[in-house]
Structure 1
Amino acid sequence: MKILLKKIPVILLFLLLTTACNNQGENKESQKNEGNETTNTTQHQEKDHSVSAVKNEDPVVEPLPTTYQELAKLPVGEYYNIATSEENSKKEIPKVFSDLPDISGNPSEKELDYFYRELLKKMQQDFEGPENLINRLKFESLGSPENTDSRYQFKDNLNIVFIIDASGSMAQKINGKEKMASAKDSILNFVNKLPKDAKVGIRVYGHKGTGSDADKALSCSSSELVYPISNYNAGEFQAALNKFSPSGWTPIGLALREAKNDLASFDGANNTNIVYLVSDGIDTCEDQPIEAAKDLYSSNISPIINVIGFDVDSEGQNQLREIAAATEGIYGTVTNEGELQKELDNLSNLTEKWKEWLEQGKQKIESKKLQNDLAIFSYITKEEIKATTESTKIELILSYLHEAGRMNDESYQYLETKRIEYHRWIRKEIKKFEKELKALNEASYSEAIKALEDKYISNTQ
């Protein structure tokens, strides 16, 4: 597909990336060295499938979201990526959702509303709200003279630091290739395109010990700057990549704190500092990654911190999204090497823009315009896909539960109506946001960002 956006070919393209589901929590860590690919179905079959007989006579029903912002802030559901079209789904779905409230008798509307809300929590998709879009626009506008935030202004020096998950789960394979190998190859392709004056560094974490409890202390204290922040040297960089392989636990907080030390001599006044955190799951070392990210972000280093979830489950997505949100950075999920490479291609375009800025004697870069084009269409399309996916899966789950005798005809019809109305509302919200974006199609970056901030951030503070 051709991109119609003038000079901004990558603002939101990677928004079309699909999400993936990984092993969760301790199960994931205990299998790190084995590199097994545990599917959702296997995980679900391991659960306690006894149907709950607990009746909640007076349930407290959490309200459904009333704005797209509220929708996007909801945690990603445990089963957001569950397969519902397999031949054995009719048998497996009732088992998987056995812990939902019992509505097999004649439940009240309030009990049915509570049931629907609990089901929705498990199926919640990773909707992306205006805040993440604003951060994407800010990142795309990096170097623009319209930027008043010095964090997003080009400086004499450009430094890019990758913080790479080397925990055991990175040994799992996607399309026959280890996730770690895909990450290394994608980063290698990126650095080969770097301008000669740009600097790059790589810090890894969780690369010592194993995923066993006995090795947890060792692994949770392991983080290393394998390639110090410096100009790219092909031989030394390859040697650095060869120094680590998937191994232990996931100390994200430790790695972020150490990255602050790595960048200590590169103050934000004279350096444009960009940090990319790549992880395939949640921090498993209880080392306060969100606090560490905030500390790095608010330091005089003034970095831009973006987060990539690589084949990550719902629990990991929720934490990684929180890290990105706490630092006003971009969060994106990728499910394979090709998508990871596309994400880094966006960064390659930015480094080229910095090189152009240097070579033109730091002249002002032409103010860019947002256009009514494929970039906006891509964002809207992905959100519509999520709404359709969530609605379709819930429709099938309700059908399977109905067939399994978990609800009577009246309850089923009530819940179906609720599903239809709720997802009709989501689609209306997406269409409304699409109109707002198109209304900004001739605005400059700064005008567009300010308009979105005024509407979606300032009014909520």
Structure 2
Amino acid sequence: MRNFRVTLTLLIGVSILITGCGKEEKEEKEEQQSIEQAVSNNSESSDMGSVEPKGKQEEKSMKITPLPDTYKELESLPVGKDSSYIPTATNEEKMQAIELFKNLPNIKENPSQKELDYYYQELLQRVQKDFKGPETLFKQMRFQSFGNPDIEDSRYQFKDNLNVEVILDSSGSMAQNAGNNTKMDAAKEEIMEFIRELPEGTRVGLRVYGHKGSNADKDKTLSCSSSEVLYPIEPFEESKFESALKDVQPTGWTPISLALNEAKQDLMKYDGESNTNIVYLISDGIETCDEDPVSAANKLYKSNISPIINVIGFNVNGEGQRQLKEIADSTEGIYQNVEDQDELKSELNKINDVANSWKEWKEKGKQSIDLKEVQNSLEIFNYITEEESKSLNEKDQINLLGYTFQQNSLMSKESRIYIEEKNNKYHEWIDLEIEKFNSELKNINQQNYQQAKKILEHKYQINTQ
């Protein structure tokens, strides 16, 4: 009897064991079937017909654009949204930089060369500077050569009257600091000083925009419809002009298009036949009122007013620089970004030089005067220095960010070295191009205006091929 019970117990145990094993085998089989089904499903939806690791799939979707190999291509690159200097000296600054670039591709673990090239491309796009080819310098030279009889464009010939209108951004962002002053206070001071220095007989005007309401959503309609001429085009009266400028406060949105359209009305009675009309737009950002400022600028440019339209970007970010430069380019004008009050003063002084040449022309009874040879050496020096500075700053910015990311385990030392070498080589090429321009422009400066124009245009085309 005892043996029977033992046998029965053993049979029950074996039965349980067999049942358990069967259950595990069934679960394993079901799990395997699920995996096989997932693989099958992926195969059906994949062009490759197989499942690859996520990293490999992402690598195949990376589109790497070759770096520019002409200065024309370099100039056409959009200014990066983080093109302003990003400090990395303190721990706090490093953490801010890491936060700013947190959306860059992940290259923490054994990235491929393609992944590193893609990473460099994305980082470079973010900090891209606003490089300018020699065509920009030519525009500067043409403006500074105002009145030279060799210049065929009638806009640049002296007329009986000189009219200068300043269009000033009064949007809320002009309350931000730019050095020791707010942008608005700095602009007011420099505009006032600039207008004082214009020769007697110059008619001046002041128009503002975005000066009503606020930059809150609820005030968008009001602010986007606000542009007002505070000083109509007429001879300068200091107290009247100063009073008009004093009351301007930065408050609202940025209706650039509206201001340009209304500036056309301000100058309507001063046609280009007997008037030299110069418009300076000063803005610290893009149009925010859903209009097209490039189209508005074109209409003003092509009107019978025939104005010269130059644009000053006051401490503007990458997106703003792109749009403001497009406004200037579309009207054959000059775009210049200034970071602080001193740079704004320097840019406005260029108009004073033109105005003083006009005064000299008037005083000599409008006779054909012997205009002295325009000395462009300083302009060439400034242009070359600015381009060299952009190249150096862009290169150093990327290398410093690389060190910061390595220190915080966002990339390996090997990855950082690869990116740095690629970065240095790229900027060596930029520096060589700038060096060529320096030599060419110095030779061009020895020629007269028309010869210089032909040589420069020829050289510029060569550098775009």
Normalised to the residue count of structure 1, the TM-score between the two structures is 0.84
Helix, strand or coil: the match of 1:100?
coil
Q: Does 1:71 align with 2:105?
A: no
Q: Give CA-to-partner distance per residue, 1:39-70, whole Å, 9 cap, x none.
A: xxxxxxxxxxxxx9994333111121111122
- Are 2:464 and 1:454 aligned? no
Q: Is the 8 A contact 1:161 1:201 kept in 2?
A: yes
Other structure's SS at 1:273 match: strand
Contact 1:132/1:329, CA 8 A, preserved across alignment: no
Deviation at 1:217, TM superposition (A): 0.2
Greater relative contact order, per chain length (Cα 8 Å cut-off, separation 6+):
1
**1:251 aligns with one of 233, 246, 255:** 255
1:61 is aligned to: 64
Q: Is the 8 A contact 1:252 1:283 kept in 2?
A: yes
The 2-side partners of 1:60 and 1:433 are apart by 32
Q: 1:191 aligns with which of 185, 192, 195?
A: 195
Deviates more, 1:66-75 or 1:84-93: 84-93
1:87: how far off?
Answer: 0.9
SS at match of 1:264: coil
Aligned residues: 410
2:293 & 2:459 partners in 1: Cα distance? 30
State the Cα deviation string for residues 198-246 of structure 1 (Å, max 9, x = none): 1111111001111111110000000011111011112221232234321
* Partner Cα distance (1:61, 1:160) in 2: 47
- Is contact 2:59-2:114 (8 Å) kept? no
**Residue 378 (structure 1) aligned with residue 364 (structure 2):** no
What is the distance in 1 between the residues matched to 2:376 and 2:148? 20
Q: 2:379 corresponds to which letter in structure 1?
A: A
Return the match for 1:262 from 247, 259, 266. Answer: 266
User: Quick one: which amino acid aligns to residue 413 of structure 1?
Assistant: I
- Please name the residue that 1:342 is paired with: 346
CA distance in 1, matches of 2:214, 2:441: 48
**Do the aligned residues in 2 keep the contact of 1:157 with 1:198 (CA within 8 Å)?**
yes
Within-5 A mapping of 1:216-231: 216-231=220-235
Instruction: Summarize the Cα distance change of 1:63–1:314 in structure 2 as closer, same or farther, 3 Å threshold.
Output: same
RMSD across aligned positions (CA): 2.2
Q: Corresponding residue for 1:301? A: 305
Report 1:290-329 matches (<5 A): 290-329=294-333
Offset at 1:139? 0.5
* Larger relative helix fraction: 2
Q: State the distance in 2 between where 1:372 and 1:345 align.
A: 16
Question: Compared with structure 1, are the counterparts of its residues 66 and 175 closer, same or farther at alpha carbon in structure 2 (3 Å cutoff)?
Answer: closer
Q: Does 1:436 align with 2:440?
A: yes
Q: Distance in 1 between matches of 2:190 and 2:382?
A: 23
Query: Which of 353, 356, 360 is the aligned partner of 1:352?
Result: 356
Q: How many angstroms apart in 2 are the aligned matches of 1:331 and 1:458? A: 24
**Paired residues of 1:134 and 1:453 also in contact (CA < 8 A):** no
Whether the 8 Å contact between 1:202 and 1:228 is mirrored in structure 2 is: yes
In the TM superposition, residue 256 of structure 1 has moved relative to its aligned partner by 0.5
CA distance in 1, matches of 2:226, 2:263: 13
For 2:385 and 2:353, how far apart are their aligned partners in 1? 24
- The alignment status of 1:148 with 2:152, answered yes or no, reads yes
Which amino acid is 1:74 matched to? L
Task: Tell me how far 1:106 sits from its aligned partner.
Answer: 2.8
Q: What is the deviation of 1:175?
A: 4.2
- Please tell me whether residue 168 in structure 1 is matched to residue 172 in structure 2: yes
Ranges in structure 2 where 5+ consecutive residues have no aligned partner: 1-53
Q: Give aligned-pair identity as a percent.
A: 51
Mapped to 2, the partners of 1:158 and 1:208 lie a distance apart of 31
Measured after TM superposition, the shift of residue 282 of structure 1 is: 1.4
Per-residue deviation at 1:370? 5.6
Among 108, 118, 129, the alignment partner of 1:125 is: 129
5+ residue gaps, structure 1:
1-51
Aligned to 1:137: 141
Quote the Cα distance in structure 2 between the aligned partners of 1:372 and 1:215: 47
Aligned partners of 1:137 and 1:449 also within 8 Å: no
The SS at the match of 2:61 is coil
The structure with more radius of gyration:
2
Whether 1:331 and 2:342 are equivalent positions in the alignment is no
Superposed CA deviations along residues 390-442 of structure 1, whole A, max 9, x for unmatched, are: 11111111122223222334332321221111010010010011111011121
Distance 1:372 1:150, change over 3 A: closer
**Which has the higher mean CA deviation after the structures are superposed, 433-442 or 74-83?**
74-83
Pick aligned residue for 1:211 from 211, 215, 218: 215
* TM-fit CA distance, 1:176: 4.5
Question: Given that residues 204 and 225 in structure 1 are in contact (C-alpha distance below 8 angstroms), is that contact kept between their aligned partners in structure 2?
Answer: yes
Q: How does 1:363-402 map to 2 (within 5 A)?
A: 363-369=367-373, 373-402=377-406
Cα distance change, pair 258–372 in 1 and its aligned pair in 2 (3 A): closer
> In structure 1, how many angstroms separate the alpha carbons of the residues matched to 2:73 and 2:212?
40
Identify if the C-alpha distance between structure 1 residues 367 and 176 changes in structure 2 by more than 3 Å, giving closer, same or farther: closer
1:219 partner SS: helix
One-letter amino acid of the structure 2 residue matched with residue 159 of structure 1:
N
1:420 is aligned to 424
Residue in 1 that maps onto 2:47:
none
Q: 1:246/1:391 Cα in 2 relative to 1: closer, same or farther (>3 Å)? A: same
C-alpha change, 1:193 and 1:84, in structure 2 (3 Å) is: closer
Cα distance, 1:117 vs. partner? 0.8
Counterpart contact for 1:272–1:303, Cα < 8 Å? yes
Q: Is the 8 A contact 1:77 1:123 kept in 2?
A: yes
Segment drifting more, 187-196 vs 391-400: 187-196
